[in-house]
Structures are given as structure tokens and as C-alpha cells.
Chains A and B, each alone.
Chain A
Amino acid sequence: MPAAWKRLALALLLVLAPGTTWAADIRLAYLSMTIDRPPVLSNLDVWPEDEGLQGARLGVADNAATGRFLKQTFTLDEVVLPEDGDAAAAMAELASAGHRFVIADLPASALEAAVAAAPPDMLVFNAGAPDDHLRGTACRANLLHTLPNRAMLADALGQYLVKKRWSKWFLVIGPRPEDAAYADAIRRTAKRFGAKIVAERTWDGDFDLRRSAATEVPQFTQGPSYDVLVVADEIGDFGEYLPYQTWDPRPVVGTQGLTPTGWHRTVEQWGATQLQNRFQALAGRTMTARDYAAWAAARAVGEAATRTQAGDMAAYIQSPAFELAGFKGRALSFRSWDGQLRQPIGLAAARNLVTQAPVEGFLHPINEMDTLGFDKPETACTREGT
């Protein structure tokens, strides 16, 4: 239909942005690393090997469907490094191959190395590392984050607990460094929203809970007077065995039980069912928070390509005009001060989305989503040059 295309092209040039040039192909790269996961006690769920990658694929497919109407094509180059791979070298290679948009699904240390090797005109989306320091002291001008950081997750949980007046928290911390980081975020939230951590215990994990949870957990949780048990166990080693075994009848929240997350299979409002269905059809499994973060990164680029006619997409993504419909009921955008995608956070039980934060009543003068995580006055990031 050459005639139709011509007419369409003309109409769009008039409607959208007169004088800009076409970009026929918008290239994205997905960079990740195989992670050797330690064995966990609860081995019911197999960790999907293509977690993150399938989200990027869906985002690019979504972009391509829109691109048909604008003569834009989208391609995704997938680079999955081995466990000890050199992320910096891989990033340099992507840069020399002409890539300017990279979805990085990497652990924090590899991400930092990769971003250091990225040229300044390359935009890197962090879709894999929840670490708070990446949004703070280790932030970069060309680094955006679509995965929520731990402070955002903890704030989302904290808002709900405080609203329920469950303000006395018993914090149980796993032995791994990421558990300590999660616990730090919980402590920050407690201070921020006026909750109290009445007890803290470290789980050293010497026993097989499948056999002895009934005897170990009651003893472990006996003593303090508290409202909720907050568990920090990111890899899911022991946390699944805490619910229903505590000495006192108390809910379990945190990394297990009621969990704050950027995405969950129970999210179905705001058109989310359609995204879940599309993902299921593509990947043959449910969509995780990492998948969602990679999807959102790809879609951010696609949205910029649509709105700017493939003009200065990186600038548009970081401008106040940018908004992304992300199936969470609010327009998503990037915080200028640390590059974090502001977004609602779901509080999910296994088969039930309990609520979505920002929780009603937590007010903000500009955007309620900025009650979650690092708001402008408290940022340690200097990417805005302040």
C-alpha cells in the first residue's frame, strides 16, 4: 500500500513534529549475566532462567506493533554473559556496535562496572539491581532505574503497616549481604513513617526447616511483643517457613508473606490483565518484577520513539513531558534527581494483591508516588549537578 503509507507519513509529519527526520530502526540491547543461585530450603519454585529477558522481548514486540504505523522498526540484541563475565567489556562492545539504549539486568557490582564503560551518550536502564546506593552515591547521569529500589519497596510496605496501625515490627534478618541491605531499608522506613522495630534477630539457618519449622520458629520468635514479623530473606531461603509458625499469631511481611514488589501475577487492574496475558503467551510463565522492569525500559524507549519521531529520545525520556502507561493506574516517569522510575508498588500475597502503594493518606505536594523511596530533598545523587 505505497499510497496509503505516503499519506500516513504525510499526516503524521504534520500532526507530530514537522521537520524531523525518520529513524527506520531503533536498536536496543539487553545485557545480563548468568547468576548461580545458592540452594534454598524452599525449592518449590524454579527460578526462570530467562527472567528479565522475556520482559525486554515483550517490550520490544510492543514497540514494534506501534512502530508499524510510524515506519519504525525495533530490534533487540541479547547478550547474556557467563557468571564471571566481563560486563564492562560487553558494554564497550555494545557501544562500539552503535548501541545507545541498553537494558542492563545485572547485579550491582557488574552494573557499576558496565556503566563506567558506557559512553556518556548511551542510556543504561537498570532492570536488575535493587540496591539503594545505585540511586545515591553511585548514581550516574546516563543511568536510569526501572526496577524499584529497596527503599521504595520498604516504604510501600511501611505505608500499609502504619495505616493498619501495625507499627511494632519484629525484624528477622537472613545471613546474606542483600538481607542486611533489605533490613537497612526497613529500618529507614520505620523511622520515616513512625513505626518501631521492637526486636531484631538474625537467622543463622543451621537447620532444615522443612523438618523442624514447627519447633524452631516458635522458639525463635518467642519473647517480644510485636504486631508484625518483618522478614529480610531475598533469596527465599527460610522466610517461607515463618508464616503460621510464630509463637504469637502474627502476620509475616517483607520478602515473604505480604511482599512489596514492582510486579506480581496478581496485578490485574488498570488493564494489567492484558499485559499478563501477552507475557504468558510469549514466555509460557507469569511475569515477575524483573521482567516488568525490563519491559518498562524497552517501552520507555518505544514511547520516546513514537513521541519524538525518533528524535532526541534520551532527552525526551528524562524530560517532564515523558509519561509511560505502565498498567499500574498512574503515569510513570523518571525522577530527575536520581533516575529512578516513579511507580506504584504492589503489596502482594501469594494469590491476592492486598493493596497498591502509595497508600491513601500518604500525601506529597507534587506526586504521591514520590512518597516511596528517595524524594528530592533526601537524595544523595548529584546527577542533576546540585
Chain B
Amino acid sequence: MTYRTLLAASAVLATSALSWPAAAYTVFVSNEKDNTLSIIDGTRNEVIETIDVGKRPRGITLSKDFKTLYICASDSDTVQVMDVATRKILHNLPSGEDPEQFALSPDDRYLYVSNEDDNIVTVVDTVSREVVAQYDTGIEPEGMAVSHNGRWAVNTSETTNMVHWIDTTKGVMVDNTLVGQRPRHAEFTKDDAFLWVSAEIGGIVSVIDVPTKKIVHEITFSVKGVQPDQVQPVGVKFDKDNTYAFVALGPANHVAVVDMKTYEVEDTLLVGQRVWHMDITPDGAWAYASNGVSGDISVIDVANRKVVKSIKVGRYPWGVAIAP
């Protein structure tokens, strides 16, 4: 490192240290190959605790009141329910086999779980702890999302390459939208007007108009020095104001910043190896991205679009969820 870059690097560290979030966030990270959860203190950006969970933990999500964390323990065939305050596993939910990702209904009552090996979406009542419905999907259901108004639950099937639309008011699957190869993740915009779906092998993000279920735009990405077929979008997150989308580009080792009106890719930020998923702090200031292969978390300053720190966690970090 030259003197100049050293100076620049320390300058970045100094500014970021000053602008570190004042509020105490807690960042939860599932480590797929360690059967653990890393807990990061967001004020210091250090791992403060590592706790044992079920086998092959992948998707994790918080209840709207941030009191409960749900953990997909894929190889334990269960969803674990953790009390955020005490960090103790309270109980397990029946989830169907091999749960991978899930989404909560807006009232926190129902958990929609994709059962990757069984081509099923299982709906679990978090109160009665019972399975209340199951839906047949295409092969390898993965991405799950529930619209903010609760009307739609969608699932993406990775080998069938479709988005399956469940109308929650009728309790039936009513439509399917064909998307790019290997759809990994789905995310409703905050106004529920559009659904963004990433296609890992197709290398695109499809923007689907929710009322018509039709694709209205396909976003492509290019990263300097990276072959096009290594640009593989996975996680998608929207910022607090619904103006910019952050898209994790997998083995391209970058997170793209996309203008949500023009669909223009404005920036690509260098992170760790094979970036999977992200979450953004409730104040919208920081994004945390999990890097599967390098086994760390990249901390992104959202406003300045800068990666300010990487935090070593367990092996193959997968899901990220942030509680205030």
C-alpha cells in the first residue's frame, strides 16, 4: 500500500467511525455451513455473540415489532423462533421439509415458507403453530414475498423459472409469470405497485407490474472487469424512501445501486466474494450484505454509496436481518 492510499484508507475509516449509527442496531446473520447465527453490534460493527441454531440456517426474518426472529433451519426441516431480547430459541414451527426462505404476513400472523425439496409453499400460523395451507409450486421454490397490503404472496421457483402468485384473500394460486433463469429473490416495492425479481443465471432483475402480473422492465448489469455470465443478481433491497434499489450481484462481488424510476444502474460497489443477501437499518442509513464465499459482511454507507467495513462472521453467511 502506498502512503497515499494508506492516508485515503485511514480517512475513510475516520469518517466512517464518526458517522457510525448512533442508535444501537443489532444485525443477525445466518451462517449456512456453521449452523450458527452471528450477532453484530451495529454501533461497533463487531460480532458480539455467536449462537448455535438448527442445521443449515438460511433465510432469517424479523417480526414487525422486532421482538421475534424466525430462522429457516433447512436441514433440520424446521423454522426456529428466537426471542430477540434474550436470544434464546423459544420453540420450533412446523415448516414442511427443507425450508429455505420465507416471508411474514403484514400482521405477523402467517409465515409463508418455501420448501425447496418438495416444490411446496407452506403457510404456518405463528400463533397456533400449525400448518394452515400448502401450495404446489414449480421446482425449487426459493424467493418468498408478501405484499405490504397483505393481498399477494409470491414465490419464485428456481428451476421452473416462474413467479407464482397466491391471492391471500381467496387462498388460491391464481397466476404465474415466467421470468429469467433461476429466480432467487422477490421484493415488493413499498407501494406494492411493482414486484422485483432477480434471476441469478439469467443475469437480470425483472420488474413486474403487480396488477397485470406482466414484466414491464428488465434490468441488466455490467461490472467492469467481470465476465457477463458472472454477474448474477440475488438479493434485492429498497432504500427507505423507495428511490434506490440495492441488488447483490453474487460472484461479481458487487452490489448495484439502481434508480427505481429510471431503472438505471448508477453505481456498483465492491463487496466480498459471492454476495447473497442484504438488509438495511430502519433509519435507512446502512446496508449490511452477506458475502457467502469470503465469509464476511460488508457494511455499506447508503447515502454515500461506500463500503466502509467488512466484518468476519461464520462460514457461508446467508441471511441478514437488522433489529433496532
Q: Which residues from A are CB-within-8-Å of B157?
A: 66
Q: Which of these, A66, A330, A367, contacts B159 with CB under 8 Å?
A: A66
Assess whether B174 is in contact with A323, with CB atoms less than 8 Å apart.
no
CA A65 – CA B138 in complex, angstroms? 6
Q: Let me know if B308 is at the binding interface, CB within 8 A.
A: no
- Given contacts A62-B139, A65-B139, A66-B138, whether A11 and B213 have CB atoms under 8 Å apart is yes
- A325 vs B200: C-alpha distance when bound (angstroms): 9
Known: A271-B140, A331-B229. A15 touches B214 (CB 8 A): yes
Tell me the nearest residue of chain B to A64, going by C-beta. B139
Whether A98 sits at the interface, judged by CB under 8 Å, is no
Question: 1/0 per position for B221-260, CB-CB distance to A under 8 A?
Answer: 0000001011010000000000000000001000000000
Judged by a CB distance under 8 angstroms, whether A78 is at the interface is no
Query: Which residues 248-306 of B have a CB within 8 angstroms of A?
Result: 251
A12–B174 touching, CB < 8 Å: no
Note all chain A residues with C-beta closer than 8 A to B160.
65-66, 69, 306
Q: Would you give the 0/1 interface string for B135-170, flagging 1 where the beta carbon is closer than 8 Å to chain A?
A: 010111000000000000000011111101000000
State which residues 8-26 of A face B: CB under 8 Å.
8, 11-12, 14-16
Contact B158 A271 (CB under 8 A): yes
Pair B140/A7 contact, Cβ less than 8 Å: no
A275 to chain B, nearest CB (A): 8
Question: B292: nearest residue on chain A (CB-CB)?
Answer: A269
Q: How far is the CA of A329 from the CA of B164 in the complex (A)?
A: 24
Q: Is B177 an interface residue (CB 8 A)?
A: yes
Q: Which of B140, B162, B203, B214 contacts A69 (CB 8 A)?
A: B162
B158-A69 in contact (CB<8A): no
Name the residue on A nearest B174 (C-beta).
A4
List the B residue with the shortest CB-CB distance to A364: B227
B315 to chain A: closest CB distance in Å? 13
How far is A330 from B226 in the complex, measured between Cα atoms in Å?
A: 13
Name which residue of chain A comes closest to B159, CB basis. Answer: A62
Is B125 interfacial (CB 8 A cutoff)?
no
Q: Mark A190-209, 1 if CB is under 8 A from B, else 0.
A: 00000000000000000000
**Which A residues are in CB contact (< 8 Å) with B214?**
14-15
Which A residues are in CB contact (< 8 Å) with B174? 4, 7-8
With known contacts A14-B214, A15-B215, A323–B202 Cβ distance under 8 A: yes
Q: Is the interface of A mostly helix, strand, loop or mixed?
A: helix
Query: Do residues A331 and B202 form an inter-chain contact, with CB atoms below 8 A?
Result: yes
Which residues 27-79 of A have a CB within 8 angstroms of B?
62, 65-66, 68-69
Q: Mark B1-28, 1 if CB is under 8 A from A, else 0.
A: 0000000000000000000000000000
Point out the residue from B140, B172, B177 that lies within 8 Å of A274, measured CB to CB.
Answer: B140
Q: Given A68-B136, A274-B117, A368-B227, are A16 and B159 neighbors across the interface (CB < 8 Å)?
A: no
Most buried by A among B159, B173, B232: B159
Contact (Cβ within 8 A) A278 B175 = no
- In the assembled complex, the Cα of A274 lies from the Cα of B58 at a distance in Å of 14
CB of B75, distance to nearest CB on chain A (Å): 10
Given A65-B119, A66-B138, A278-B117, are A1 and B172 also a contact pair (CB < 8 Å)? yes
CA of A1 to CA of B175, assembled, Å:
12
Task: Say yes or no for B50: interface residue by CB 8 A criterion.
Answer: no
CA distance A264 to B61 in the complex (A): 34
For chains A and B in complex, what number of residue pairs have CB atoms within 8 angstroms? 84
B116 contacts which chain A residues (CB < 8 A)? 274
- The residues in A between 256 and 296 inclusive whose CB is less than 8 angstroms from any CB of B are 271, 274, 277-278, 281
Nearest CB on A from B150, distance (A): 21
| Interface size of A in residues (CB-CB distance below 8 Å) | 29
Cβ-closest chain A residue relative to B184: A271
Hey, which chain A residues are within 8 Å of B215, CB to CB?
15
Question: What residues of chain B lie closer than 8 Å to A11, measured between beta carbons?
Answer: 175-177, 213
Decide if A306 touches B136 in the complex (CB within 8 Å). no
A271-B229 in contact given A11-B213, A15-B177, A65-B138 (Cβ < 8 Å): no
Q: How far is the CA of A274 from the CA of B162 in the complex (A)?
A: 17
Q: Mark B162-194, 1 if CB is under 8 A from A, else 0.
A: 101000000011111110011000000000000
Contacting residue for A4 out of B172, B182, B200, B230, CB 8 A: B172
Chain B residues within 8 Å of A65, by CB: 119, 138-139, 159-160
- How far apart sit A271 and B98, CA to CA, in the bound complex (Å)? 13
Given the contacts A62-B159, A66-B159, A69-B162, A7 and B202 also touching, CB distance less than 8 Å: no
Cα–Cα distance between A1 and B203 once the two chains are bound (Å): 35
A329 touching B178 in the complex, CB below 8 Å, given contacts A66-B139, A274-B117, A277-B117: no
Residues of B close to A8: CB separation below 8 A: 174-176
Interface centre among A4, A69, A278, A367 (most CB of B within 10 A): A69
Q: What 14 new A-B contacts, CB under 8 Å, besides A4-B174, A66-B161, A306-B178?
A: A11-B175, A14-B214, A15-B213, A15-B214, A16-B178, A65-B159, A69-B138, A277-B98, A278-B117, A307-B178, A323-B202, A329-B232, A331-B201, A331-B202
Task: Sort A-B residue pairs by CB-CB distance and give the 8 closest, nearest first.
Answer: A66-B160, A325-B201, A325-B182, A325-B181, A69-B176, A331-B201, A65-B139, A330-B229
12 A/B residue pairs, CB under 8 Å, sorted by A: A15-B214, A62-B139, A66-B138, A66-B159, A69-B160, A69-B176, A281-B117, A323-B181, A325-B159, A325-B161, A325-B200, A330-B229
Residues of B within 8 A of A (CB): 98, 116-117, 119, 136, 138-140, 157-162, 164, 172-178, 181-182, 200-203, 213-215, 227, 229-230, 232, 251
